[in-house]
Amino acid sequence: MEYNSIQELLELALAEETTIAEIVLKVEAEESELSEADVKARMLENLKVMQKSIKAGREKKIESAGGLVGEEAAKMSDYIAGRPGLLYLQAVTDALAVAEVNAGMGKIVAGPTAGSSGIVPAVVVATGEQLGKSDEEMMMSLFTASGLGYVVSRKATLAGAAGGCQAECGVGSAMAAGAAVELHGGTPEMVVHAFALALKNLLGLVCDPVAGLVEVPCVKRNGFSASHGLTAAAMALAGIKSVIPPDEVVLAMTEIGDALPASLKETSKGGLAVTPTGEKIACRLRK
Amino acid sequence: MGIFDVMGPIMIGPSSSHTAGAAKLGRMARLLFQREIEEVDIYFHGSFADTYQGHGTDRAVIGGLLGYLPDDVRIRNSLENAEELGLKFKFHTVNLRNVHPNTLMIELKSKDNSLSVTGSSVGGGSIVITRIDNTKVRMIGQLPTLWILHKDRPGEVGIITSVLGNYRLNIAYMQVLRNKKGDQGSCIIELDHKPNKYLINYLENMDDIKQVRYLPPL
Ligand code: SF4
């Protein structure tokens, strides 16, 4: 069994009358010649690291290497303490938390990349907790996210340096949207439409990190992308479809990424990086 | 690339190229040297030179040199740990010509030995070692790798490969290098499976082999 596009992934799930997560798990077990139990154990390790990074980011102020970020999750955490039950706010907080842990040289799961590592954990854990799902169920939804991201890695890119931030936070958000639909028990079709809806709306997002560091705008962008993924999931669960099919959205992403100038692809030679404040910060840090 | 390259690796942030890749480069240098490192000079080029502090590239390389893997939380405190262990280190910036923007050169010294290793972090945490001392090489550290220094004489490489064959090891990729004709030769052999210590022992004890280094896959 194999899949080279989102469409193929969907068709396999429909043909086998199962979830996308199960297909991704099966194919990975076949490919790596490991048992499904071993593959699951490895994914569970990812989930554990994600949960720990959320906790670490929420609990204490992080000192990032560049010093530009570090208090975002703590501030959000205080703010939402009086507003329980709001899924969005929890996801935003958790995404900030993980992105800060990353900026502060903490342990994270680089999924799809280190810079965008807060989105998937935040959406999966917040949704999972809200729905009272077990770790096993949350872990399975990570397979959904991985399968979707895997197709993008094969057909396009997951590197900001090659495709801009649409390839990192955009894809992260789309992967997370798919996982959230899976957790809600949505159909495989809903999963792929959630993916397409989320990615579509972040097309064109540029990569312009201040001083070349994974801090500004990256950390807050993780928070926004998490809420974005949840929005896409909700739309898909409501039965809304992406008019442009998922694989074509990925194609569009590639084309846009190619059209983006090098200055907006991680070189810090354009966008926010060259604003007066961005330049000032870069100058100060270079010393 | 498999799904665990997409959902993973588990690593110390903030950047797969500037942190995780740098830690791997440091670790490769340590494995190639395989002696107690007393002093090390690290030269950052390009994007590494611009942002090595902000990305913790310095901490990651030193961590790798201390043997830490890219997901080892001790990377955060590697500079302090190195000082405690008495490892002297210095960072420099350089302009190396015609290399990838994320390149660094590591010069290792022990009491009576030294080694220079140059490598690049080429994206997503993947690395390539491009130079060992003055010899151009290509090592990506994804397969079990042997680096063997031997006398450059006819048939030597054939003898080495047949020894590997006897140990039922399949060669995935092999490079044969030498500095001057008849001088010292070296070869880099990437294997499909991990070699055992008996094989490495055997190779080390062969007449014309001067040195064997084994680099487990990263
Ligand atoms: S702005 Fe660039 S470095 Fe930051 S998360 Fe997006 S792609 Fe990564």
Please check whether residues B118 and B183 belong to one and the same domain.
no
- pLDDT of A238-266, one tens digit each? 999 999 999 999 999 999 999 999 999 98
Assign a CATH topology to domain A6-286. Answer: 2-methylcitrate dehydratase PrpD (1.10.4100)
End-to-end CA distance of chain A: 54
Mean pLDDT of chain A: 95
Whether A123 and A178 have beta carbons less than 8 Å apart is answered as: no
Residues B101-120 as b or e (16 or more Cβ within 10 Å = b) = bbbbbbbbbeeeeebbbbbb
Nearest CA in chain A to B6: A112
Q: Which residues of B touch A153 (CB under 8 A)?
A: 1, 5-6
Nearest CA to ligand 1 atom 8: A115
From the CA of A219, how many Å to the nearest CA of chain B? 11
Residues A38, A44: Cα–Cα separation, whole Å: 10
B37 and B109 belong to one structural domain: yes
CA atoms within 13 A on the CB side of A210: 22
Q: Give how far B1 is from chain A: nearest CA, Å.
A: 8
Number of independent structural domains in chain B: 2
Which CATH number goes with the domain that contains B86? 3.30.1330.90
Of A114, A161, A286, Cβ closest to residue B13: A114
pLDDT at B201: 94
Question: Are residue B135 and residue B150 in the same domain, yes or no?
Answer: no
**Claim to verify: residue B7 and residue B71 sit in the same structural domain:** yes
pTM value is: 0.91
pLDDT mean values, one per 10 residues, chain B (218 residues): 92 94 97 96 93 92 97 96 97 93 96 96 90 92 94 90 94 85 86 94 93 92
Residues B135, B187, single domain; the answer is no
Q: Does the CB atom of residue A234 touch ligand 1 within 6 A?
A: no
Query: ipTM more than 0.85?
Result: yes
> Residue A23 pLDDT more than 80?
yes
> By residue range, what is the domain housing residue B175?
145-215
- For the CA of A159, the nearest atom of ligand 1: 7
Residues B26 and B64 in one domain: yes
Domain final residue pick, B101, B119, B139 = B139
Of A108, A149, A154, the CB nearest to B13: A108
Are B26 and B46 part of one and the same domain? Answer: yes
Please give the residue of chain B at the shortest CA–CA distance from A211: B51
CB-based contact (8 Å) between B122 and chain A? no
* Domain identity same for B33 and B99: yes
Report the first-to-last Cα separation within chain B, whole angstroms. 14
